[in-house]
Every structure is written in C-alpha cells, then in structure tokens.
Chain A
Amino acid sequence: MNRIFLIVVFLGASFHLWGMVGDSLAVRDTLHRELKEVRVEDESQLRFRSTFAGSDLLKAKDIRSIPSFLGEKDVLRALRLLPGIQSVSEGNSGVYVRGGSAGHNLFLLDEMEILNPNHLMGLFSVFNPLSVGSLEVYKGNAPVQLQGRLASTVLVNSAEPDEKNSGLEFNLGTISSTLSLIRKSKDGRLSLVVGYRRSYLEALGMLASPFLKDENNYFRNNQYFFEDFNGKIGYHLNAKTNLSLSWYTGQDNFHFRDEVLQYNATTDWGNQSILLKLDRTLGAQQTFHSSIGYTNTHSGLSGQMLENSLNFSSYIEQYQWKNRLEIRRENHLIQSGVELFLQESTPVKMSMSYRSDTALQHHRFSNAGLVVFLGDHFKSPSGKTLWYGGLRATANASLGPYSYGTTIVASDKIAKIWWNVSPVLSVSHFPQSGRSIKASFSMNEQNIHLSSLSSIPLPFDLWVPSTPRLQPETADQLTLGYYVSNDVLNWSVEGYVKQMHHQQLFNVITDNTFSQGFEDQFLAGKGFSYGVDLTADKSWGIYSAKVRYSYARSFRSFPEVMDGEWFNDKYDRPHDFNLQFTAKPNETWDFSLLWTYASGCNLTLPSGRWWMSGMIMNDYDHFNGFRLPAYHRLDVSADWHLKSRVFKESVLNFSIVNLYNRSNPYFAYFRVFMGENRYNLQVKSYQISLFPIIPSISWRFKI
C-alpha cells in the first residue's frame, strides 16, 4: 500500500509541477474552588459541570481503557471516541470536529502548540500515552485565551507527579516501545515528567532476514522509523513562584525503494517545540502567567523514479510570548492577557527535474501578530447559573518581502494587516440537581491554514499563514446542550450550527496557463455544518458502558467549484456511532470492547463517460458526489494484571483490532477493463483497505 501511494504521490507531483493559552484545568478548578463547586471527577461530570457546551475531559484511566492498537493506547484514538469528533480516520492523520477541517484544531501539549500530532501516517498520535495525565477538548466554543482555531482546542496535559503515579514505566508494544519517568523531589519543589518512544520496524526486517530473500523482505527494503521525546520539568521557586520547562521533539522517516520500478523515495516529517513558563501569585487573589515558546513542523519528500527526480519540503516555525493575568473576585474570575507571535513559513519548496529540464518553486512568508483578550467567568447570586463573556482581538501582519504579480513589498514593510475581534458568550444553568442546560456562542478566527495536498491522505500537509491574498478563516458557532447526571444514567444531547467563511482549498493548477503566485493555487469559499450529539454512560456492578452517536452534516461552496454549488465536504459523514463496554470481574482481569460505525466519506468521481476522438472522457455532475461504503469495526482488549514482587505494576495486554476482519475503505479508485471480445468494456470500483484483523500483545510494567 505504501508503495502504491508513494508512487501515486510522486507521479502526481511530477506531472503537475509544471504546469492562548492557559491552564484551563487550573482555571476551572480555581473557578470551582472559588465558587465552592464540586471538583469534577470524570468525563461525564465535566460535560455536566463545564460552563461551555461541547467540552469534554479524558483522564489517563479513560485513555488506558480503550483497546490497544499494535500494543499502544493512543491518546487521539481516545479523543476520537468523544461525541462530535469523527471516530474513524484509518490511515488519515486528521481529526474532524463538528464539520471542521483537519487544520481547524489547536493541539497544545503542556501549552506547546503541536502542528502535526501524528506518527506513522496517522496510526499513532505524537502524545506519549504513559506520560499524559489528562486531555481536554473544547469543540468550537472555548474561553478566549484558548481560541485560535475554528473547530476545537485540544489540551493534552502531562501527568502531575504524585505518590500514585511516580515511577519508571515501560510499555513494550508490537512495533514500538514507550517509556515514561514521573518523579517529584522529596521536598516537593522539583517535578519531572519525561516520555520517550521509538519504533523498531527495522529490527523486524533483520529478524526476518534468515527466512526471506532480501527482495521479498518488505521491512528490509523499506525502512520506517519514528521516535519522540517529550517532557516537563517543574520547579517551585518559592511560595509564590513556579517555573516550568516543557519540550517535545519527534520525527518520522520512511524510505522506500523498488528496484523494478527504479523508484527510490524518502519522506519525513516531525515537530519540535519548547516552552518556558512562569506562574506567579500576586497577592491573595491575583496570579500572573507568562510563557515564551517556540514550535516548528516540517515535512518533505525526495524521490527518484526513472529519469525524474523530485524534492519537496514544507516548513513552518513559530515564536510566541504569552502573558495572562487572572483576578479572582467574589463570583468572578477575570482573565486578561497579551500575546505576541512571529511565524516564518515555507509552505512549498520544490524542485523537480526531468533529464536536463528543472523546475523550481520556493515560497516563503513571514507573519507577526498581537492578541489581546479579556474574559470573565461569573456566577449568578442564586448560584444556579454560570456565565462567561469574553473578547479576543487579533492583529495579524503579513510582512515583507512579498510579491504578487507587479506588487512588490520590501522586507522592511508590511504587506497587509488583518484585524479581527472574536466575542465568546456562554451560559450554563442548573435548574435542579443533576440537570443542566447550556448555550455557547463564539465567533472564531484562525490565521493559519492547513492545506491538505491530496484527495488521499498523505503524511505531509502544507501550513500556510494568512497572506495579502489569503484571508483569515472565520467561523460562527452556536451550541446548545441538555445534560442529565444521576445514579441511574448520565446522558446528554448537544446540537450545534456553524457557518464558516474564507475556507481554503488547495488545488494544483490544472492547466498550462501560468499563475501569478503561490496563493493562486488556493480557492476561497464558505462552509456550513450542523449536527446533534448524543451520549449515554451507565455503570452497573463490574460493568460500564458508554454510547456515543452523532448526526452531523458538513457542506462547502467555492465559486470556482461547479459554479459555486453547495457540495458535501469530503469528511461529511452523517452517522457516527461508537459503543464502549468494559468489565472488571476481578483484580486480575479487565476487559473492554469497542464497536465503531461511521458513514463513508465522499469523493469526486466522474458521474458519466463519453467518447471523443477514440478516447474515453469524463462527465461530472457534482463535486464529492460519491460516498464510500460505511466504516465499522470491532476491537476487543483484555488486561491481565500480573502479581509481581519486582514491579509496582505489571500488565499484559491482549488486543484484537478489527475482530471480524472488515475491509474498511481507505481510498477508492476505478479501473477500466477491456474484455476478450470486441466492445467489451467494464469500469470497476476498488477500495484500498489498510487493516485486516490485527492481534497484538504488549507488556506494560512500572518500576
């Protein structure tokens, strides 16, 4: 499969070249402490308690309760089981939240922005499951300091070291292994969380060498490698001051060669992030937070096939300085702040050569921006209503040098400034014990755009900042929710509508006319989505069950696409359902089962065909007019807790992904077959599926 798609990528490229942050847990805890509310305990309780409709929390135990995939409990897999988030995206790195696109999500690992949160072409996330303590998600409606994307903000927080979780923990998986070290000094002033993970697919190639010829040894000919290293060091300087240093670095590298096709290619991508943070208490009711951070992501492909060679790379780096002041008053928690950022990006640097002909593309952009925000959480005198109101103002300057056609902007000038003010309003009402009603409205803006290159998922995407000709994307979202929490059943229903403006669609120029600039390859349009999310959680005895169902629709319209007619977004999947069932019959065994179902995604294929000059031509009626077959899968998992005198904890995990071996669609294509007889002609549709039934064993132990 990898071979197929890399060839497709290479050929495709070859042919067409020519031509905010705050510690929201702390905020909420502070708020609840100040408001003398009950501290939240689990996912359904947070959904019930939070001021914002569409927010969820996962703790480490929730993440560890899902079935393993190739021996790993993946953080983003757990995220995808939440309502309003598409639960399947096999082999696709994107997270799709309430009609948004893959680039509409802000991933923050200990407040560091991670632009590409995936390993192994989306099979694993970059977040180390052993060192993660909790995960929070705001689905389109968030406090102003957490805004910056249209669809969601995902906060991944490292574990807070305590007596229970301290130690050195290993997970030996099928294709990779993970370790984490969580420690706190005896005086409590120094804390440390470190995680490391590495794949060893190349070792499998070596193991198989005695049994296979080199040319048949897939892992010998094709080396895949990924690793990541993340951590957080906290230091309690004095009674009023805390310092912390967080970092992440990760890399994927895939080398492929095929002697027959004379094809040789390497693709790589990764992220690096670092953040230094100061938290200081200013008097009894004020705290100040300041952080300075750096993050980058890169991706690239270089390859040779016959007489063609291609080198493609994309890179973006971002510097941020964030300051936030929190003021607590009776029934109020006011948060204000100022942030500065600088982005340097090279969305495309590409060279392609064929024999003596060489074509080059190199596009570079610089942006700088200022964000000012003010938000207030407050409680009504009756104590039954929580309110939130906030404003976020953004100035984003596209800096020189910049050129488009005859427009040339010098390096010391500003090419364009985009101004925006985003209001957020939210209310949460508790009419009686165990029931709440919520409404949230946000006008979100995002100044950086993820442009997926392809109609099939690829590991490399282009991050492009707002430029004079690429307007910031905006979205307005209204969410309403009703929540019930009692001893019998916790359930909720949420509905939302969202309209999106200045959506970006990347299309390689499809004819041989020349464009004036890189930005001409983007189409700008609008989007609209709506949906309903239902959840139900039930526990009885040794059993517990979680049911999630979403009915969601998402549409797009671009003036240049089919004369501006509204069409289904590629990831418009009306039905998304998952059932998670767990049982803990004794202290030795845990069992879990997960069944997921989702409508197929859409793709554009010709709707008709016709003849011209002896050639078969295509006829199109609609964009994204075909829908792939539905996706469904059953995963089961069992944890065997071993008794040990050596280890604090020792768990063997047995998992089977896709128990009934369903061939789920990853990509579809057509082939034209000529029959034996004259005029026999067939067009058959095929799908590529990534994962058949996959059993795996892993061993997790803690010293």
Chain B
Amino acid sequence: MVKRLYYLLLLGLLSCTNQIELEQPDYETKLVVDGYIESNGFANVYLTKSSPFLTEYDSVSIRESFVNFANVTLICSNGDSEQLTLFRKNTFFPPFVYKSVRMKGIVGETYLLKISLEGKIITAITTIPKPPTLLGLQMDSKSDSSCLFKFGIFRDTTPVSYMFLQFKSMLADQNMHPAAVPIYKVDGPNTMLSMVVYRSEETNLYLAEMKIRPYSRWPKTLFSKKDTVLVRVGTVDAVSYQVLKSIFADQSVKDNPFAFNSEGIQTNIVGGIGRWTGIGVAPLMVYP
C-alpha cells in the first residue's frame, strides 16, 4: 500500500515531457551567403536559402535549400575581378561551392561580392586585415589522456584588432571550422595574448555519415592527446567582427536560460543574410 501511495505521489510530483506542435510564425525565406576570402587564398562562397525553423529536412527537401544557379562575381579594390566557378564539394554542406580559381586574397584590399540570382542583385563588402603575429601553439597537459591548447599572439601597433579562430580535429574527422568561442576583440598595442581553443561540434558531420563522436561529454576546453589538431588564427575587419560576434553569441545563448538573444543576427550581406568575411590568416598551427 505504501509503495502504491509512493508511486502515486511520484506521479504527481514528477514532470513529464511531451512533443507538441508550435505554430511557426510567418517566415520569409532569405538567401544565405556563407563566404570568405583568406589572405593568399581563394574565395569560397556557399549559397543556400534559409528555412522556417520548424520545417523538416529530408534528402529531397534539403536539396531545395541549395543554390547552384547564381552568377557570382568577385571584384577587388585594385580593379581585378573574376566570375566565380561552381564546384562540387562532398565533404561539406552544402555540397556546392563557388570559388575563385585565379584571384587570391591580398592583405589590405577590399573585396566586393556581387551575386545575381532570380533577377536580384545581392552584394557584400569585406576587407582583409593584416594577419596576427603568432607566438606558437602550446599544449597544456591536464591528465594522462587530455590536454588543452593555448596559442599566443603578439599585438603590434594596431590599436584594435579582431581575431577569428578556426580549428580542425582529425580524431573527430572534422573540417576546418569556427571554434566554440571564435571571435575576440583585442584592445591595446604591444601586448602578448594567450588564448584557449574551445572545441565546437560541426553539425554537417551528421549529414554525411554518422561517426563515432570521440568528444562526447568532454569539457569544451579539452582535447585528446591522441588527436591531431590544426588551428588557424586570423584577423577580420570591424564589420565582420560584429557580424560573426552576433552569430556566435547566439550559438552560446541558445541553450542558456540566463541569457537571450536580444539583437537577432547581424549581417553584412545586402539583400540576404549570412557573412562575407575577409581574413588575414597566420600560418597554420598543427599539434603535434
């Protein structure tokens, strides 16, 4: 009897979880530009269309979000220009990328991206700042099997610069992608800074083949000592910093009941959403 009463009470006190239908507010699909050009690298532009949040993707409907019929032109402030070429890229989502095959990013130059699609012109501008001066990648052992990575940069005479951090874990079979805390504003000249690399998941891996997730339930700061980690540090301009900051700040607050995204997502794409980022990249750092 006591046991029955207990279960009855437990039933009353414990919560339950149900799947529910929420009404999706009206949402207008937007053109998404995910583009970047690195110093001494080719331009890469991924074009997709955004979706209402509550829609479902399958192998058919997700293809409707690809955009592979646009005319994309890259124009440099030094007068050079090139129409980007569409390539297939199976390792990354979306599986199409517009790339430059001749023009490479030059530090100090400004790049205009012009996209012609369905009778509309979408534009974006970015500049490639001077890359940071690296002091090296340092591994701090935290246990027999785990470590964290710090990298040092030396700040020169620039009063304010904006760091953009990407990494790639070979153990997790990742592509180069932004770290969990990828964007930093650095004030004050002539300082040496030490920063920690925070791991982040790469959603598109799910879309390829399900892999074993070696970092499941690991703290975001820790890497396996068995891993091979590539870290790329770059600088971006002030506009790109604001755009990237809003995007990644949203990522960090989305599961946090203490905070909310009050500002939405910023963009430097005129006529769409997303980012067009010029990055002055320092040489790739590899561990071990």
Min distance, Cβ B197 to any Cβ of chain A, angstroms: 14
In the complex, B105 has a CB within 8 A of chain A: no
Contact of A680 among B20, B21, B59, B265 (CB under 8 A): B59
In the complex, A616 has a CB within 8 A of chain B: yes
Report B-chain residues with C-beta under 8 Å of the C-beta of A66.
none
Min distance, Cβ A215 to any Cβ of chain B, angstroms: 15
Number of B positions contacting A (CB below 8 A): 86
A610 touches B48 (CB 8 A): yes
Looking at the complex, which of A22-30, A334-342, A624-632 is the stretch in contact with chain B?
Answer: A624-632
Report A-chain residues with C-beta under 8 Å of the C-beta of B142.
355
- From known contacts A454-B257, A665-B20, infer whether A605 and B177 are also in contact, taking CB-CB under 8 Å: no
B17 touches A687 (CB 8 A): yes
A622 touches B25 (CB 8 A): yes
Which residues of B1-43 have CB atoms within 8 Å of chain A's CB atoms? 2-3, 6, 8-25, 27, 29-30, 32, 34
Report B-chain residues with C-beta under 8 Å of the C-beta of A615.
177-178, 200-204, 251
Contact of A679 among B184, B207, B261 (CB under 8 A): B207
Looking at the complex, which of A9-17, A99-107, A229-237, A467-475 is the stretch in contact with chain B?
Answer: A9-17
> Could you give, for residues 186-206 of chain B, a 1 whenever the CB lies within 8 Å of some chain A CB and a 0 otherwise?
000000000000001111111
B258 touches A13 (CB 8 A): yes
In the complex, B245 has a CB within 8 A of chain A: yes
A688 touches B17 (CB 8 A): yes
A188 CA to B219 CA, complexed, in Å: 68
- From known contacts A622-B25, A665-B20, infer whether A561 and B262 are also in contact, taking CB-CB under 8 Å: yes
Report B-chain residues with C-beta under 8 Å of the C-beta of A683.
53-56
B54 touches A685 (CB 8 A): yes
A608 touches B51 (CB 8 A): yes
In the complex, B209 has a CB within 8 A of chain A: yes
Which residues of A647-703 have CB atoms within 8 Å of chain B's CB atoms? 663, 665-666, 668, 670, 672, 674-675, 677-696
B247 touches A608 (CB 8 A): no
Contact of A674 among B3, B207, B247 (CB under 8 A): B207
Give the residue name and chain of the B residue nearest to A676 (CB). Answer: B210
Give the residue name and chain of the B residue nearest to A629 (CB). Answer: B20
Which residues of A161-193 have CB atoms within 8 Å of chain B's CB atoms? 174-175
Min distance, Cβ A17 to any Cβ of chain B, angstroms: 9
A512 CA to B275 CA, complexed, in Å: 20
Contact of A621 among B25, B63, B205 (CB under 8 A): B25
A618 CA to B250 CA, complexed, in Å: 8
In the complex, A609 has a CB within 8 A of chain B: yes
In the complex, A507 has a CB within 8 A of chain B: yes
Min distance, Cβ A627 to any Cβ of chain B, angstroms: 7
A685 touches B259 (CB 8 A): no
In the complex, B264 has a CB within 8 A of chain A: yes
A629 CA to B10 CA, complexed, in Å: 25
Contact of B57 among A211, A562, A679 (CB under 8 A): A679
Give the residue name and chain of the B residue nearest to A201 (CB). Answer: B13
Number of A positions contacting B (CB below 8 A): 94
In the complex, B274 has a CB within 8 A of chain A: yes
- From known contacts A512-B181, A617-B265, A625-B25, infer whether A685 and B258 are also in contact, taking CB-CB under 8 Å: no
In the complex, A544 has a CB within 8 A of chain B: no
A681 touches B56 (CB 8 A): yes
Give the residue name and chain of the A residue nearest to B48 (CB). Answer: A611
Min distance, Cβ A357 to any Cβ of chain B, angstroms: 10
A620 CA to B247 CA, complexed, in Å: 11
> Could you give, for residues 482-517 of chain A, a 1 whenever the CB lies within 8 Å of some chain B CB and a 0 otherwise?
000000000000000000000000011111110000
In the complex, B93 has a CB within 8 A of chain A: yes
B274 touches A610 (CB 8 A): yes
A15 touches B252 (CB 8 A): yes
Min distance, Cβ A305 to any Cβ of chain B, angstroms: 10
Min distance, Cβ B76 to any Cβ of chain A, angstroms: 23
Give the residue name and chain of the A residue nearest to B245 (CB). Answer: A511
B256 touches A16 (CB 8 A): yes
A439 CA to B255 CA, complexed, in Å: 46
Which residues of B34-88 have CB atoms within 8 Å of chain A's CB atoms? 34, 46, 48, 50-59, 62-63, 65
In the complex, B104 has a CB within 8 A of chain A: no
8 tightest CB-CB pairs across the interface, nearest first?
A1-B15, A614-B204, A681-B57, A454-B257, A694-B12, A620-B264, A610-B50, A508-B259
Residues in B lying within 8 Å of A, measured CB to CB: 2-3, 6, 8-25, 27, 29-30, 32, 34, 46, 48, 50-59, 62-63, 65, 92-94, 142, 175, 177-178, 181, 183-185, 200-210, 219, 245, 247, 249-265, 273-275
> Could you list some 26 contacts between A and B, CB below 8 A?
A2-B15, A70-B12, A218-B14, A355-B142, A453-B258, A510-B249, A558-B262, A607-B27, A609-B50, A609-B51, A610-B32, A611-B204, A613-B175, A613-B202, A617-B247, A617-B251, A618-B254, A619-B265, A621-B25, A625-B25, A674-B206, A674-B210, A687-B18, A689-B15, A689-B16, A689-B17
